[in-house]
Amino acid sequence: MNKVARVREKGDITIPKALRQKWGIAPGDLVGFEETERGLLLTRQEVIAKDALDEIGTLLRENGVTLDDWLATGRESRSQLVAEEYDLDERT
């Protein structure tokens, strides 16, 4: 499906209705723009986030790491970073 849209004065474009329906783009959704050799690629950001989270989940499972383990590691790392940034004793 090849569609064309005119860019208005403030840079606004209207995504054709058929494409919005096909790709599930609704008012208020976030879209991202990625530069490619052929031009701009427009993507729904929710799809990217979901795909990234699915990939992270797959990698965690493949390495025998539970979600609880992963979250605990994140908490430990944040505590260390805060302690280093503010010169705090990690035990306090």
- Give the model confidence (pLDDT) of 39-64 as tens digits: 999 988 876 677 888 888 899 999 99
Instruction: For residue 79, tell me if it sits in a domain.
Output: yes
pLDDT of residue 78: 87
Helix/strand/coil for 29: coil
What is the pLDDT of the chain when averaged over all its residues? 87
Range of the domain at 70: 48-85
Helix axes 67-85, 45-62, angle to 10 degrees: 100
Backbone φ, ψ for residue 42 (5° rounding):
-100, 130
In percent, the amount of the chain with pLDDT more than 90 equals 39
Confidence of residue 18 (pLDDT cuts 50, 70, 90): very high
Q: Is residue 27 part of a domain?
A: no
pTM of the model: 0.47
The answer to whether residue 80 is domain-embedded is: yes
Residue 54 lies in a domain: yes
What is the spatial distance between Cα 52 and Cα 9, in angstroms, rounded to a whole number? 35
User: Can you tell me the distance from the alpha carbon of 34 to that of 48, in angstroms, rounded to the nearest whole number?
Assistant: 12
Specify the number of domains making up the chain. 1
**Looking at the domain assignment, is residue 10 inside a domain?**
no
pLDDT top residue among 1 and 87: 87
The type of residue at 87 is D
